[in-house]
Homo-oligomer: A and B are copies of this chain.
Amino acid sequence: MNGLHIDVKDCSQCPIRHRAVCSRCEPDELETLENIKYYRTYEAGQPILWSGDHMEFVASVVTGIATLSQAMEDGRTQMVGLLLPSDFIGRPGRERAPFDVVAVSDVTLCCFRRRPFEEMMTQTPHIGQRLLEMTLDELDSAREWMLVLGRKTAREKIASLVLIIARRDSSLRRKLPADGMTFDLPLTREAMADYLGLTLETVSRQISALRKTGTIRLEGKRHVIVPDLDALISETGDDYDGGMIA
């Protein structure tokens, strides 16, 4: 089971699609929306939420990719989450966003106004249970990522990220890895660097290194072919196949 499936009663007029230039631009419009559930789209590169923003809604990603990240005053930034379709944004019970959320590609969110959503949660316990399960999964992957950030070499970091993207991609398409896995990197070199705690130059160098040894092949800048998945796995530093998707 992927994502959070919720039936909202008075949802006849959904989906309402409206486009926002910036998450802070139209609080009034948002405030006057009477329905609980609505859709919202963002263009690639647009901010969805800034850390500290008042959160009017919780949402789940319908299409596109967004990132969750944290920035220091001097510009150093660390990505702390990658949001793919079916991932959840926001926290019932919290007023303010703890991190920045940015659309990497064009993104459609399915939003729920926060207050009504919280009420709904108290009435239908399975929503809370499902949300707990999803949050625990996120916590586990955050902790796995801490190992990558704290202990892996640049080479291992890159291999780990490529592997994660490969797996997520093939699980999204429900296509099991065949002889030659092939997929697109959804992130720029800089975004990969922010995910891995590296500089973009190092990311580029290590991708080139993996290419030179034949572990991956590239078509253009973004399209990746993995001829031998085991070879890639052995570059990650984890020797066994930890979290292979079913």
User: What is the interface of chain A, defined by CB distance below 8 A to chain B?
Assistant: 68, 70, 72-74, 76-78, 80-81, 91-94, 98-99, 121-122, 125, 128-129, 131-133, 135-136, 138-140, 142-147, 149-151, 196-197, 237-239
Determine how close the nearest CB of chain B comes to the CB of A188; give it in whole angstroms.
17
Pairs A–B under 8 Å by Cβ, sample size 13: A70-B146, A78-B146, A78-B150, A78-B151, A80-B147, A93-B133, A94-B136, A128-B129, A142-B146, A145-B146, A146-B146, A146-B149, A149-B150
- Set of chain B residues within 8 Å of A81, measured between Cβ atoms: 143
Are B139's CB and A239's CB within 8 A? no
Q: Is the CB of A128 within 8 A of B139?
A: no
Task: Closest B residue to A138 by CB, please name it.
Answer: B139
Q: Is B128 a contact partner of A80 (Cβ separation < 8 A)?
A: no
Q: Is the CB of A143 within 8 A of B80?
A: yes
Q: Which of A128, A129, A139, A146 has the most chain B CB within a 10 Å cutoff?
A: A146
Distance in angstroms from A45 CB to nearest chain B CB is 22
Using Cβ atoms and an 8 Å threshold, which residues of chain B touch A129?
A: 121-122, 128
**CA separation between A125 and B127, bound complex, in Å?**
11
Closest to A147 in B: B78
Q: Is the CB of B132 within 8 A of A72?
A: no
Among B70, B91, B237, the residue within 8 A (CB) of A147 is B70
Q: 5 tightest CB-CB pairs across the interface, nearest first?
A: A150-B197, A80-B143, A149-B149, A78-B147, A142-B142
Q: Cα distance A141–B73 when bound, in Å?
A: 19
Are the C-beta atoms of A151 and B197 separated by less than 8 Å? Answer: yes
User: Nearest CB to that of A99 among chain B residues?
Assistant: B143
Tell me the complex Cα distance, A77–B150, Å: 9
